[in-house]
Amino acid sequence: MNLLLDKEMSFKKYNVRLKDTIKTFTKRLFYALIDEQHEDELKFLKNTFLEITKKLSIEKGETIWEIFKSQFIDIRKKLDLDAIAIEKNDPATKSLEEVYLASPGFYAIAIYRLSHKLYELQIPILPRMMSEHAHGVTGIDIHPGATIGDSFFVDHGTGIVIGETSIIKNNVKIFQGVTLGGIKVKKSMSSTKRHPTIEDNVTIYANATILGGNITIGANSTIGANVWITRSVPENSLVTYQTEIKISTKKNGI
């Protein structure tokens, strides 16, 4: 035996150790974006990016890096709006500093915004690996292909799933356990819109599930906890799930 595999067996190699490299790259990219970008740090990020693109057989790595780097200021501006939205809407958050240092939702959004730019540049695999790093750290699964507007607020966040073709517009608030998914899972649908559109100023409470590419949640609507939606909702709507809960008093304390 040769380690775990017999010498006569032949398998394609997939560079799985890149997971560690991309984990480091993603974390330090976030740090550089939020804190001062020193020349040595940018040099490290560039060299690591070129190493990753080479191993993934992505051509024109230097050109892609320069385009990507040129968008850092715009990404940071969007993240500042996200941070303000979190500080403004979360009563448990006492300062913007707390958002940047301790909010899992903000970290997931930051990595999404970075990976989304690479997705827009049609870079394969790398954006998804970056988003999976954030998923593992925060429990929030945002596909880099999703389109998310300004001032995005994620509260708690654990268990959130936002699919590839989701469109989320401005000033949207999403709580833990929310799923924006596809109503059908078929490989043949990979190039079609499979996930919902969320218009401006919508709030979606915990564990709500919204499924389907032709589904739109109208502006200024509130989707209550545990709601399951497979049809569009007009603007200014309140959607709730009602269940009967009975509370009775025990006799003799039993």
Whether 115 contacts 164, CB under 8 Å = no
Residue 208 pLDDT > 80, yes or no?
Answer: yes
Residue 51 token pair:
């190493």
pLDDT number for residue 230? 97
Residue 24 token pair:
């480091």
Which amino acid, one-letter code, is at 27? K
Angle ∠(198,201,207) on CA atoms, nearest 5: 60
Residue 91's CB: how many other CB atoms inside 10 A? 6
Residue 138 pLDDT > 60, yes or no?
Answer: yes
pLDDT number for residue 1? 44
- Superfamily designation of domain 14-139: serine acetyltransferase, domain 1 (1.10.3130.10)
Confidence tier at 189 by pLDDT (50, 70, 90): confident
The CATH T-level fold of domain 146-240 is UDP N-Acetylglucosamine Acyltransferase; domain 1 (2.160.10)
CA distance 192 to 197: 13
Whether 141 contacts 128, CB under 8 Å = no
Lowest mean pLDDT across 10-19, 99-108, 233-242: 10-19
Q: Residue 108: name the closest of 87, 83, 71 by CA.
A: 83
Classify residue 183 by its DSSP letter. Answer: S
* CA separation, residue 199 to residues 69, 79, 82, 158, 181 (Å): 30, 19, 17, 22, 16
Confidence tier at 4 by pLDDT (50, 70, 90): low
Q: Residue 175: name the closest of 211, 150, 209, 147 by CA.
A: 209
43-93 per-position pLDDT tens digit:
999 999 999 999 999 999 999 999 999 999 999 999 999 999 999 999 999
Give the residue range(s) of CATH 2.160.10.10 domains in the chain: 146-240
pLDDT number for residue 242? 84
Give the residue range(s) of CATH 1.10.3130.10 domains in the chain: 14-139
How confident is the model over 182-188, as a mean pLDDT? 81
